[in-house]
C-alpha cells in the first residue's frame, strides 16, 4: 500500500464523543444521526443550479450561476469523488458517519451527478441560450454561419489555431498521449493512408490552453454586437486540414477530470516547499475520475477512451454542448448589457471612518474605536489601507500577517513587499497547502524572501486558515516614554480583493490589548517552537475552539434546564459547513433540553433538523444568492448576556483539529448589535433566497405566501440598501 493510499484511509484522532442523550430510550443508529457529506455537497450545487433556473434573475447572471455549478462539480470530482474511488480501489468497507460504505456513496453520487449535469445542458440549450439570443447575444452553430463568417473562421483557423495544434495519430510509434486534467481534447476517427502509408484509424488533437474556448466575432463579421462561436466549432469545421489526404469520419470533443488532491507525507517531509514544488506538476496527471464527452460520439470511440482511462460507465458523462461550461463564465464580461446583469453598487464605509478618503490616520481612529466591516456591502479598502498605512508609517516597526488565498494580483502582498524594502520587520505565514492556490502562494513566498521578509509555512499537518494581521507601532504621548502598541485585523474571509466583492464576510480591526496579545501569541506559535499558552480572549484551533463551542452549547442547555429562571436558551450559528459529530450531538442534546437553535448553513449540513425526539427545536436554512455566503458567526443568548463570535472556522473536523483557526469575540455593544442585525436576523427572516432543510436532507425554497401582503425579504438586497454607498 503506497503513502497516498494510506492517506485515503487515514483518520485524525479527536476527543472522544460525549454520549448521546435524547428523549427516546432507543439508541439512535448512525444513519439516524448524520447525513451523507457528498450527497449534501451535491444538494448545495442543486440549490445553485436553481439560481440559474430562476427567470427573475438577470439572464447573464443566470449563465454565471450555471458555470459556477460546473466549476463546483469540477472540484467535487477532483477531490471528493477521487477520494471515494481511492477507497473503493483499496476495497475499503469503512462506513462514514451516515452508515454508508464508499461504494454505496459513489453509486448515489454518480446517479445524482448524472441527473444534475443533464439538467444543466437542458437548461442551457432550451432556456438560457434562446433567452440570450432574443436579447441579441448569440452562440452560433456552424449551420448558422454566413459566407462572410465562414471565411473569417477559416482565416482564424489557419492564422491562430493551425500553428499551435499538434495532431497525434495513434499507432505503435505514437501511443496514446498524456491528457492533462480538465484540458479540451478531440478524438478523431479516420480512414485512408497517410504520406507514409500508415492507416491509423484514430488520432487525438489537444487544444492548447492559450486558445480561447469562446470567441467573439469582430464587427463587420458579426451580424449583431454580441455574436460568439465556440473553439470546438472552428476545429470541427477544419479538422480535415490536420490530416491531409485522409477522410475524417468523426470528431468528438472530450474532457478528462483527474484526482487533484495533493499529497505530502507528513512523516517523510523535510522541506515543505520543495516537497510541494515536486508534487504540483503531478496534479494534472492524477488518476482519471470522470470523462465528459460529446453525446454524438460513436460507441466504439467512447469505449476506446474509457479503456484508455480505466473508467466505467458510471464515470462517463455524455453532454449536448461544450464539455467545459466553466469557459462561458467569461461571456458576461465581454458583453456590455447592464440590464442583463445585477445592478452595479459601490461598497460603503462604516460611520466614523468616512474620512479615510480624506487621508485620516487610521491608527488615530483605532485608538478611539474598533472598526467592523461587513463585506461586500462595505468596502475592503480599510483593510488594504490598514496594511498600506503600516508600510509607510515611520512609527510602525513590524507587520505580521497570515496568507491563505490572495490571488495572483494582490495589493496587500505588494504592500508587504514594499514594507520589507522600507526596513520594516515583515513576517508572513504563507499556507502552501491552500488548495488550488499553492502555486500563487509559492510565487508570493519567493518574492517576499527576495526583499528580506521572514517567510514561514506554518505547521506541517495543520493548515494555517486563520485570517489575521498584526501591526506593531512605536508611539509616544506628550511627556511620556515611547511604548509599543499593537493593532490587529481579524476576519472570516481571505485577504483577496476580488472575493471581497463576491463573498459575504466580516472583518474586525481593533487595538484591544487582550485580543492583540492573543494574536501575537498565535504568531509566536506559528513562527517558533514551544508549548501552546492559554489565550485570554480568543478561541484557537486545534487547542480551544472545539472545547469553547461545546462549552457554550452546554451552557445554553444548563440555562434552559434551570426551571427557576424559566429562561429558554438560544443558539444561532452561521457557517459554510456543519459536519463535526461531537458538536452535532451536543446540538441534539440542546434541542432535547428545549434550546431554540437556528442554523444558517450555506453548504453541507450533516445534522438532521426537525426530527421528533431528536432535533425538533432545530431549524436549518441555506441562503444562496448573488453573493457567496462565507461569514462564520456564532451567537449564544447566555441568559440575556449575549455572546457573539466571528470565526475563520466552520464546524468541521478539519477546522477543529487539523487547522490553525481563530474565533474572536465582538464585545463592543454597538458592533455586537450590528453583527446580529446584519449577519443573522436578515438571513433568518429571508423568504426569497432561503432554503429550509428537512430531516431527510431535502430542501424547500421559501417564498412569500401567495394571496397575502407578505413582505418580500431578500437579505442580501436589504444589506445592499442599508450598507452600500448611497444605500
Q: Which residues are catalytic?
A: 465
Question: What is the length of the chain?
Answer: 727
Residue 640: count other Cβ atoms within 10 Å of its Cβ: 8
Orientation of helix 411-421 relative to helix 381-392, angle to 10°: 10
Instruction: Return d(Cα 105, Cα 39) in angstroms, integer.
Output: 8
Instruction: Specify which residues 510 forms β-bridges with.
Output: 488
Q: How is 98-119 classified by DSSP, letter by letter?
A: TS--HHHHHHHHHHHHHHHHHH
Which triple of cell numbers denotes residue 121? 445542458
Which triple of cell numbers denotes residue 192? 485512408
Report angle CA 603, 340, 709 to the nearest 5 degrees.
Answer: 70
Instruction: Return d(Cα 622, Cα 691) in angstroms, integer.
Output: 5
> Burial level of 615, CB count in 10 A (0-12/13-18/19+)?
buried
Radius of gyration of the chain (CA): 28
DSSP E strands, 615-658: 618-623, 628-629, 632-636, 643-647
Residue 478: count other Cβ atoms within 10 Å of its Cβ: 4
Query: Which residues, including other chains, have CB under 8 Å from residue 175's CB and lie 6 or more apart?
Result: none
Closest CA to 10 of 19, 22, 18, 1: 1
SS3 355: helix
In Å, what is the CA distance from 491 to each residue of 131, 353, 383, 432, 631? 40, 18, 10, 20, 9
Closest CA to 721 of 682, 688, 671: 682
Residue 325 is classified by DSSP as G
- Find out whether 683 and 600 touch, Cβ atoms under 8 Å: yes
DSSP E strands, 295-436: 316-319, 371-375, 396-403, 425-430
Instruction: Return d(Cα 196, Cα 216) in angstroms, integer.
Output: 39
- Find out whether 254 and 291 touch, Cβ atoms under 8 Å: yes
Residue 608: count other Cβ atoms within 10 Å of its Cβ: 24
Amino acid at each position: 500500500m503506497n503513502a497516498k493510499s494510506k492517506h485515503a484511509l487515514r483518520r485524525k484522532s479527536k476527543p472522544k464523543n460525549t454520549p448521546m442523550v435524547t428523549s427516546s430510550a432507543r439508541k439512535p443508529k448512525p444513519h439516524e444521526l448524520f447525513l451523507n457529506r457528498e450527497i449534501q455537497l451535491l444538494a448545495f450545487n442543486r440549490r445553485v443550479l436553481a439560481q440559474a433556473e430562476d427567470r427573475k434573475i438577470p439572464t447573464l447572471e443566470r449563465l454565471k450561476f450555471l458555470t459556477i455549478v460546473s466549476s463546483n462539480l469540477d472540484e467535487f470530482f477532483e477531490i471528493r469523488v477521487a477520494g471515494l474511488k481511492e477507497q473503493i480501489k483499496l476495497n475499503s468497507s469503512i462506513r462514514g458517519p451516515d452508515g454508508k460504505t464508499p461504494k454505496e456513496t459513489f453509486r448515489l453520487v454518480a446517479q445524482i451527478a448524472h441527473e444534475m449535469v443533464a439538467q444543466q445542458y437542458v437548461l442551457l440549450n432550451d432556456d438560457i441560450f434562446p433567452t440570450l439570443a432574443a436579447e441579441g447575444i448569440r452562440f452560433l452553430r456552424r449551420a448558422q454561419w454566413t459566407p462572410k463568417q465562414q471565411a473569417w473562421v477559416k482565416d482564424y483557423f489557419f492564422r491562430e489555431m493551425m500553428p499551435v495544434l499538434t495532431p497525434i495519430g495513434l499507432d505503435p510509434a505514437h501511443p496514446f498521449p498524456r491528457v492533462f486534467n480538465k484540458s479540451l481534447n478531440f478524438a478523431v476517427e479516420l480512414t485512408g493512408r497517410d504520406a507514409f502509408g500508415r492507416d491509423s484509424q484514430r488520432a487525438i488533437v489537444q487544444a492548447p490552453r492559450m486558445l480561447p474556448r469562446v470567441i467573439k466575432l469582430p464587427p463587420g463579421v458579426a451580424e449583431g454586437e454580441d455574436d460568439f462561436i465556440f473553439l470546438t466549432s472552428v476545429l470541427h469545421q477544419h479538422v480535415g486540414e490536420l490530416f491531409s489526404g485522409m477522410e475524417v469520419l468523426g470528431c468528438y470533443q472530450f474532457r478528462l477530470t483527474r484526482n487533484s488532491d495533493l499529497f505530502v507525507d507528513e512523516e517523510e517531509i523535510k522541506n515543505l516547499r520543495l516537497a510541494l514544488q515536486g508534487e504540483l506538476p503531478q496534479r494534472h496527471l492524477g488518476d482519471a475520475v470522470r470523462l465528459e464527452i460529446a453525446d454524438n460520439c460513436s460507441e466504439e470511440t467512447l469505449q476506446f477512451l474509457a479503456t484508455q482511462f480505466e473508467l466505467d460507465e458510471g464515470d462517463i458523462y455524455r453532454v449536448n454542448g461544450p464539455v467545459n461550461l466553466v469557459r462561458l463564465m467569461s461571456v458576461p464580461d465581454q458583453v456590455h448589457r447592464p440590464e442583463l446583469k445585477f445592478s452595479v453598487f459601490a461598497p460603503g464605509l462604516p460611520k466614523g471612518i468616512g474620512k479615510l478618503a480624506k487621508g485620516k490616520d487610521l491608527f488615530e481612529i483605532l485608538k478611539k474605536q474598533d472598526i467592523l466591516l461587513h463585506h461586500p456591502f462595505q468596502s475592503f479598502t480599510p483593510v488594504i489601507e490598514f496594511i498600506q498605512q503600516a508600510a509607510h508609517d515611520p512609527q510602525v516597526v513590524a507587520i505580521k500577517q497570515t496568507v491563505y488565498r490572495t490571488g495572483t494580483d494582490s495589493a496587500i502582498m505588494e504592500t508587504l513587499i514594499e514594507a520589507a524594502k522600507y526596513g520594516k520587520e515583515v513576517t508572513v505565514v504563507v499556507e502552501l497547502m491552500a488548495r488550488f492556490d499553492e502555486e500563487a502562494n509559492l510565487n508570493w513566498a519567493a518574492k517576499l524572501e527576495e526583499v528580506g521578509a521572514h517567510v514561514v509555512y506554518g505547521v506541517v499537518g495543520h493548515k494555517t486558515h486563520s485570517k489575521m494581521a498584526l501591526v506593531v507601532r512605536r508611539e509616544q504621548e506628550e511627556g511620556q516614554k515611547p511604548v509599543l502598541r499593537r493593532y490587529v485585523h481579524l476576519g472570516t474571509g481571505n485577504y483577496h480583493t476580488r472575493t471581497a466583492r463576491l463573498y459575504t464576510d466580516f472583518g474586525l480591526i481593533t487595538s484591544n490589548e487582550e485580543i492583540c496579545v492573543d494574536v501575537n501569541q498565535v504568531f509566536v506559535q506559528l513562527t517558533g517552537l514551544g508549548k501552546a499558552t492559554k489565550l485570554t480572549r480568543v478561541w484557537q484551533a486545534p487547542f480551544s475552539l472545539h472545547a469553547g463551542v461545546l462549552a457554550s452549547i452546554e451552557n445554553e442547555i444548563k440555562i434552559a434546564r434551570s426551571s427557576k429562571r424559566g429562561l429558554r436558551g438560544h443558539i444561532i450559528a452561521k457557517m459554510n459547513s456543519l459536519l463535526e459529530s461531537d458538536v452535532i450531538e451536543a446540538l441534539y442534546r440542546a434541542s432535547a433540553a428545549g434550546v431554540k437553535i437556528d442554523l444558517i448553513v450555506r453548504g453541507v449540513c450533516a445534522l438532521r433538523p426537525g426530527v421528533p425526539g431528536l432535533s425538533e427545536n432545530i431549524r436549518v436554512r441555506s441562503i444562496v444568492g448573488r453573493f457567496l455566503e462565507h461569514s462564520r458567526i456564532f451567537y449564544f443568548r447566555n441568559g440575556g448576556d449575549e455572546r457573539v463570535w466571528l470565526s475563520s472556522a466552520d464546524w468541521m473536523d478539519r477546522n477543529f483539529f487539523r487547522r490553525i483557526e481563530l474565533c474572536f469575540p465582538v464585545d463592543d455593544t454597538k458592533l455586537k448589535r450590528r453583527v446580529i442585525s446584519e449577519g443573522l436576523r436578515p438571513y433568518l427572516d429571508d423568504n426569497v433566497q432561503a432554503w429550509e432543510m428537512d430531516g431527510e436532507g431535502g430542501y424547500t425554497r421559501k417564498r412569500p405566501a401567495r394571496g397575502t401582503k407578505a413582505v418580500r425579504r431578500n437579505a442580501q438586497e436589504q444589506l445592499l440598501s442599508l450598507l452600500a454607498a448611497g444605500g
